[in-house]
Chain A
Amino acid sequence: MPHPDRPAPAPDAGRGLARAAEGPDLSVSLGRLRLPNPILVASGTFGYGREMAGLVDLRRLGGVIPKTITPHPRRGNAPWRTVETAAGLLNSIGLDNDGVEAFVAHQLPWLVDCGAPVVVSLAGATAAEFVTLAARLDGLAGIAALELNISCPNVSHGVDLGTDPEACRVVVAGVRAATRLPVLAKLTPNVTDIVAIARAARDGGADGVSLINTLQGMAIDWRRRRPLLGNVVGGLSGPAIKPVALRCVHQVRRAVGLPIVGVGGIMTIDDVMEFLVAGASAVQVGTASFADPTASVRLLDALPAAVAELGAGSVADVVGTLALPAAASGCPAPVAAAPSPVSEAPPHAR
């Protein structure tokens, strides 16, 4: 379903140009990845985009991140695959997908035509599989960036690559060498020091990090003495995890010179603004799309007024503007050269 009337992607659209009459400039940059606005939809919570075409005007989104693809088809985990918990959702889907070749043949052409920047989420069991996937996708038209899912808690190895700094660096460096596309690394919060992992992603050549994937959790039916998830344990998402995600964004923003995409429990425009102020250059709407299929565009509608409320002329001017109390504890010292949300890297290749 091509959209002949869709606005042409505007990778260099007027950041910094004062357009007061039209409201704040919503465009953002994460290194060389330029996006029309900061509202993306998170992998695993938006199908392959096609499912949402009747409910959401995809052309409006800052980016669509389809469900993670793997080198080969995966059936995924046995039901039950999700359980609702207090203000949250526990899932163990298990990367159910038809594999990269089916994605390239059946899903990608539609996504490229949908009118939103497409960030393809990848997962492999090994660094070599990540590299193979990245190489397969390099050069295909219409992909804005890759997001490396090195943090899925529901498959073996997924978290392993995201919990060890050196393993993370090796994966990112391998992918970096295999593609010209901007690369985001999606990190797990299930680590003692997420700053160390983010530094490793930076050292591997990542253009940015997506913070955070789900927190490992569990739910039990005590009457039957059984776990509720078919996979026993899963990943927690939704409003319950937002404080954890904000903390991770804050710490990485302060300590690592790398653009951040914030994700975790974003339901309201207040949530979006909190992530921007904490230091995320863009955000991903995830579980909220389950609770309200139109959540992403609803938040986009509310964004200009919220940015204007801060007196800012652009979203970029809001990013990382958190005011900290003097000598606050729990805040790593900022890196010497505070990162600008816009790097000097060349414009992305689209």
Chain B
Amino acid sequence: MASDALAGRSLPYPCYADAARVERVPIVAHRRVGERTHRLRLACPTIASGCVPGQFAMLRIPGRVDPLLARPLAIYDTYLAPDDTDPRGDRGQRPFVDFLYLVHGKFTTALADVPAGAELEIWGPLGNGFRDLPSVDHLALVAGGIGQTALLAVGRAALTRGASRVTLCWGARHGAYLADADDFRRAGIDVHLATLDGSAGLRGTVIDLLDRVFAPPGGANDAAAPGHVVCCGPEPMMAAVARWSAGRGTPCTVSLEAPMACGIGICFTCVAPIRDASGAWDYRRTCVEGPVFDAANVVWPEATVWPETTSTGSQHG
């Protein structure tokens, strides 16, 4: 049963889709950028100009009932011109929005075949994004798999807001999945990579990488330690990063990757167990109350095998 604190929960939540729009927009570019990884650019001025880092949009292939539903994709970054490789100009003036996605189910398989010039249905911007992230001198971005897509814009924004350093630690199965890491480098972010098979960067998990990049707290190099960790990736990976951060006393913010059916709070699919101020937990919709949460408030699974050896999640791709 839900906690008594819930009874006093007031509406509205801060992040309903009040500013979102449902549109049909053209694909201006669509290409493969890595192993099963594709990059999509949409001409979508209302979403591009109105989003904040960490928000997402729902994308759907028009006119089909199979795949039936849209899928949530993190807004990677926004651009001023159709062929820009890096953002320039004021965020509010940029009409183009990019998404990177991993092909791993029937929707993404079908999406990969939709050519530039065709149209997609989209609604967004959605979710809270990294609105409440504190300003720190050194921000660490920690990505697993395709989770880097939620982190480029927030890293860029931190540097713009005066952070002296942003570090990305990114782990994947194989180096071919580490697509477009140069986007982070050109943004001025220090990039460190790890792969399970050693094909790129450190051989090991992203936790191994974090231990390598960041000296233990209290040591001679403590000044290099991040003041805040932002993480996105598979749930067991995020749980491990949350534990790693808690062990060092570093605040950690996560962007949860929950399967969603609607993205706008009406289906109650994408819930995650989240603690409130009293310590009691309830299922919260990651689409309208997230996807960004304080890692300390997430009830992480007790025991998880990570990294996993079996590919999963195809039903939601």
Contacts and interface: CB of A to CB of B under 8 A. Distances in A.
Interface of A: 44-48, 50-55, 67, 72-76, 79-84, 86-89, 91, 93, 96, 98-99, 101-102, 105-107, 110, 219, 221, 223-224, 228, 238-239, 267, 287, 289-294
B312 to A, nearest CB: 7
A292 B121 contact: yes
Given A54-B20, A96-B283, A102 B268 contact: no
B312 A84 contact: no
Contacts of A88: 68
Contact of B22 (A79, A101, A294): A294
B271 A96 contact: yes
Nearest to B66: A87
The A contact surface, by secondary structure, is loop
A168 to B, nearest CB: 26
Nearest to B313: A221
Nearest to A96: B268
Contacts of B113: none
A45 B261 CA distance: 10
Contact of B1 (A47, A74, A81): A74
A79 B22 CA distance: 27
B7 A102 contact: yes
Nearest to B1: A73
Given A79-B258, A98-B2, A99-B7, A291 B68 contact: yes
A93 B269 contact: yes
Nearest to B315: A83
B18 A54 contact: yes
B17 A55 contact: yes
Interface of B: 1-2, 6-7, 9-12, 16-22, 60, 65-70, 106-107, 121, 123, 258-259, 261-262, 264-269, 271-272, 282-283, 288, 310-312, 315-316
A84 B7 contact: no
Contacts of B123: 55, 293
A51 B271 contact: no
- Residue picked from B60, B68, B258, most chain A C-beta under 10 Å: B68
Contacts of B60: 291-292
B22 A292 contact: yes
Closest 6 CB pairs of A and B: A54-B18, A73-B2, A47-B266, A51-B265, A290-B262, A82-B269
A96 to B, nearest CB: 5
19 contacts: A44-B268, A47-B268, A50-B11, A55-B21, A75-B2, A76-B283, A80-B259, A81-B268, A83-B316, A84-B68, A84-B69, A84-B107, A84-B315, A86-B66, A96-B271, A98-B7, A98-B9, A102-B9, A238-B68
Contacts of B272: 79
B9 A106 contact: yes
A45 B177 CA distance: 36
B315 A76 contact: no
A192 B124 CA distance: 43
Contacts of A98: 2, 6-7, 9
Given A73-B2, A221-B315, A289-B266, A55 B20 contact: yes
Nearest to A46: B266
Contacts of A102: 6-7, 9
Given A106-B9, A106-B11, A75 B1 contact: yes
B7 A101 contact: yes
Contacts of B6: 73, 98, 102
Given A73-B6, A102-B7, A50 B12 contact: yes
Contacts of B310: 223-224
Given A76-B271, A91-B269, A239-B65, A51 B16 contact: yes
Contact of B282 (A50, A75, A91, A267): A75
Nearest to B11: A106
B41 to A, nearest CB: 23
A141 B107 CA distance: 44
A240 B265 CA distance: 23
Contacts of B265: 47, 51
Given A83-B315, A291-B70, A293-B123, A55 B261 contact: no
Contacts of A50: 11-12, 16
Contacts of A239: 65, 68
A91 B267 CA distance: 9
